[in-house]
Structure 1
C-alpha cells in the first residue's frame, strides 16, 4: 500500500436519518481531498432532506430538525455538487476511501435516484472504483477482535483509530467532516502497518480490551499481501472479502434470532423483571424478528448494493 502516500485520496462520510440505506436521507456530508504535497482540502455541507430526523438518529450525530432547517441546503443541490466533484477526482486517478462503504455509497446512490440526478455509477461509467473501506480491510487483516464495550464495537471508527494510533476526540465524532478526516488518517496508519518489517508488526497490539493480543503470524502474512496490492487489486480483493463478511454477519444474526426464540419459549423467559413473563416473551420475539429482518436485508454486494 505504498501507493497511499503518492495517490490522491477522497475520504467520504455522511450522517443520515436512518441505519437502513434504502430509506436514509443525507443530512451532513463531507469529502476530505488528500493530495500528496498539498494541504488537506476539506469540504462539508449540511443537507435539508425535507423529512423529519428520527430521535434515534439525532442521538447518534446530534443533528436536529431545527438545526438542519436553519443550516441545511436542498438535497439535490448539495448531492449533485458532491457527486460531480468526486467523479471528477476519481476519473483523474483518485481513490475513494469510505468507512463502511456499502452503507454510505448505497445511501448516496438511492438519494441520487430519488432526486433525479445521476448516481455515482452513471458518472463513472457503471463502476465506482477504486474504493478502500477500512472496515473491510481491518476484518481481513485482523480477523478476531473483541468489543471494546457494550456500546463500542470492534470495528467502529473510534476503535480503528485507537488500534492504529490516530488521535480521537469524542466531542467531534459523528460529524461528517471529522469522521472523513479520521478515516483518511486511519487508512494512512493501516498502510504504515503493512510496510512494517515482520518482527515489528508482530509486536503491534490488535485489541485494547485484551492488551496481550498482538498481530499473529497468519495475520502478518495478510498485512504483507495487502501491502503489495495496487489500488485496483485491493478493490477487487475487498469485493470478495466484503461478501464473505456479510454472509458471516447474516449467519450470526440468524443464530442470535434463534437463541432469542428459544428463550421466549421457556415458561419463565429471561428479561426485565419489572415485566411479567408474557411481556418478556414478547420483547424476545420482537428482538428475534428484528434480527431476522436485518439478516435478510444484508447485501453481499460491495462497494454498494445495486438498485433493484
Structure 2
C-alpha cells in the first residue's frame, strides 16, 4: 500500500507575518483525512499577544480585536498543536505541510517562546513530512508559473474554497499530495521513510538553485544569503545572528 492511500494529517498555520523567528500563530488547523475515514479537523484561534498587522488580517481575515476577544492564550494553543502533531507522528501518520520549513519552524520558535517542548524534541527522527511544494518542484521542475497552494490546486484541478484559512489550506495540501502521488509513480512507489529523506535532498537542491538565481539577479544579490536549505524545519541552533 502506498503512503498516500493511508491516513494523512494536514497542518497549516495563519500568522502575524512571514518571519519565522519573530511572528506568531493566529489560527491553526490539524486535519486527519483519507484511509476511508471521515475528515477530522481541529482548529485553533490564538491571541498572539501582539498586534496583528493589517496586511496579515487582509490575508486570513482575523483582526487583533477578534483574536483578543475570542482567541485562547497562545501558550495553550501552541502546546495543544505540538501534542496533537506528536500524537500523529507516534501513530506513524505522515504530516502534510505545504512549504514545511515555514510552518514547522515558526511552530518550533513559538514552542520555545512559551517553554513548550518543541515537536522535534518530542518525536526526534520519527517525524515524517510530506511537502507538496517540494515534491511538485522535483517531479515537474520546468513548469512555468508560481507554486503556491492556490496555484497547485488550480494546476491539478482541485477546488480550494476559503484559501488562506488554516482549515481549508491544511485539507487542500493533503489533496494536492494525494494527486501528486496518483500522477507520479516515483512518488507513490517510494516508501515514506525514503520519501522523507529524498525530500530533504530535493529541498536543498531547490534552495541552492533559487539562491543562485537571486545572486544573478541585479538588485537582489543580497537576498541569496537569506535562502535556507534546511527541511522540514530550520533547527534552532542554526539560527543566524546579525
> Contact between 2:160 and 2:168, CA under 8 Å: does it hold in 1?
no
**Alpha-carbon distance in structure 2 between the residues aligned to 1:155 and 1:174:** 15
Query: Aligned ranges for residues 69-218 of structure 1 at < 5 Å?
Result: 69-124=68-123, 126-127=124-125, 129-147=127-145, 154-169=146-161, 172-194=162-184
How far did residue 59 of structure 1 move?
A: 2.5
- 1:248 match: 209
**Alpha-carbon distance in structure 2 between the residues aligned to 1:251 and 1:22:** 24
- 1:32 match: 31
> Contact between 1:112 and 1:119, CA under 8 Å: does it hold in 2?
yes
- 1:209 match: none
**Alpha-carbon distance in structure 1 between the residues aligned to 2:67 and 2:198:** 39
**Alpha-carbon distance in structure 1 between the residues aligned to 2:60 and 2:30:** 17
Q: Secondary structure at the match of 1:13?
A: strand
**Alpha-carbon distance in structure 2 between the residues aligned to 1:160 and 1:145:** 11
How far did residue 184 of structure 1 move?
A: 0.9
> Contact between 1:102 and 1:305, CA under 8 Å: does it hold in 2?
yes
How far did residue 128 of structure 1 move?
A: 5.5
Structure 2 residue 22 is matched with structure 1 residue 23: yes
**Alpha-carbon distance in structure 2 between the residues aligned to 1:42 and 1:34:** 9
**Alpha-carbon distance in structure 2 between the residues aligned to 1:23 and 1:254:** 26
- 2:190 match: 229
> Contact between 2:3 and 2:188, CA under 8 Å: does it hold in 1?
no
- 1:283 match: none
How far did residue 17 of structure 1 move?
A: 1.1
Q: Secondary structure at the match of 1:40?
A: strand
Q: Which runs of 5+ in 2 are unaligned?
A: 238-242
> Contact between 1:34 and 1:41, CA under 8 Å: does it hold in 2?
yes
Q: Secondary structure at the match of 1:11?
A: strand
- Superposed CA deviations along residues 97-149 of structure 1, whole A, max 9, x for unmatched, are 0000011000000000011000001110x2362101000000001102222xx
**Alpha-carbon distance in structure 1 between the residues aligned to 2:126 and 2:12:** 16
Structure 2 residue 199 is matched with structure 1 residue 238: yes
**Alpha-carbon distance in structure 1 between the residues aligned to 2:58 and 2:177:** 27
What TM-score do the two structures reach when normalised by structure 1?
A: 0.74
How far did residue 85 of structure 1 move?
A: 1.4
How far did residue 3 of structure 1 move?
A: 2.2
**What is the aligned residue count?**
237
**Alpha-carbon distance in structure 1 between the residues aligned to 2:91 and 2:2:** 19
CA RMSD for the aligned pairs?
A: 1.5
- 1:295 match: 224
How far did residue 35 of structure 1 move?
A: 4.7
- 1:5 match: 5
- Superposed CA deviations along residues 231-278 of structure 1, whole A, max 9, x for unmatched, are 11100000000001111112222222xx13xxxxxxxxxxxxxxxxxx
How far did residue 68 of structure 1 move?
A: 1.0
Q: Which runs of 4+ in 1 moved over 6 A?
A: none
- 1:221 match: none
Q: Secondary structure at the match of 1:41?
A: strand
